[in-house]
Amino acid sequence: MLHRFLACAVLALPLAVQAEPSLKDQQLADLAVARTDFVLRSQAYSMPARLKALALLDQAKARAGELSPAQFAALMARLAAISGNGHETFMTIAWSPAQRLPLRTVWFEDALLVTRTAPEQAELLGARITAVEGKPLRALSTLLAQHSGGPERYARWNAAWLYENPEMLHALGFAAAPDRLRLRLTLRDGRQVERTVATVDRKLVPGGMVNVMQSKSLSALEQEHGWRVANADAPEPLYLQEPDQWFRARELPELDALYLQFRANYDRDNGKTLSAFAEQWAKAIAAKPPRRIILDERFNTGGNSDLTMELMRVIGQQVREKVYILTSQYTFSAGIVSSALVKRHAGAKAVVVGSPVGDYLRWWSEGVDVKLPNSGQYLRYSTGLWDLQKGCAGESHCYGDKFDARVADLSPQLKAPVRASDWLAGRDPALEAITADIQKR
Q: What pLDDT, on the 0 to 100 scale, is given for residue 96?
A: 86
Is the Cβ–Cβ distance between 93 and 376 less than 8 Å? yes
pLDDT tens, residue order, the chain (441 aa): 434 433 444 444 454 456 789 999 999 999 999 999 999 999 999 999 999 999 999 999 999 999 999 999 999 999 999 999 999 999 887 788 999 999 999 999 999 999 999 999 999 999 999 999 999 999 999 999 999 999 999 999 999 989 999 999 999 999 999 999 999 999 999 999 999 999 999 999 998 889 999 999 999 999 999 999 999 999 999 999 999 999 999 999 999 999 999 999 998 766 789 999 999 999 999 999 999 999 999 999 999 999 999 999 999 999 999 999 999 999 999 999 999 999 999 999 999 999 999 999 999 999 899 999 999 999 999 999 999 999 999 999 999 999 999 999 999 999 999 999 999 999 999 999 999 999 997
Under 8 Å between Cβ of 179 and 198: yes
Q: Are 87 and 149 in contact (CB under 8 A)?
A: yes
Question: What burial class does residue 182 get, using C-beta atoms within 10 Å of its C-beta: 0-12 exposed, 13-18 middle, 19+ buried?
Answer: middle
DSSP annotation of 32: H
Query: With a threshold of 0.85, does the pTM exceed it?
Result: yes
Write out the H or E segment, with its range, that includes residue 353: strand 350-354
pLDDT at 268: 75
At residue 441, the pLDDT reads 77
* β-strands 350-354, 322-327 pairing: parallel
**Largest Cα span, the chain:** 101
* 314/303 Cα distance (integer angstroms): 20
397-421 pLDDT, tens digit each: 999 999 999 999 999 999 999 999 9
List, in sequence order, every beta strand (DSSP E) within 155-205: 180-186, 192-198, 200-201
Residues 185 and 196: their CA atoms lie apart, in Å, by 11
Residue 19 Cα to chain centre, angstroms: 41
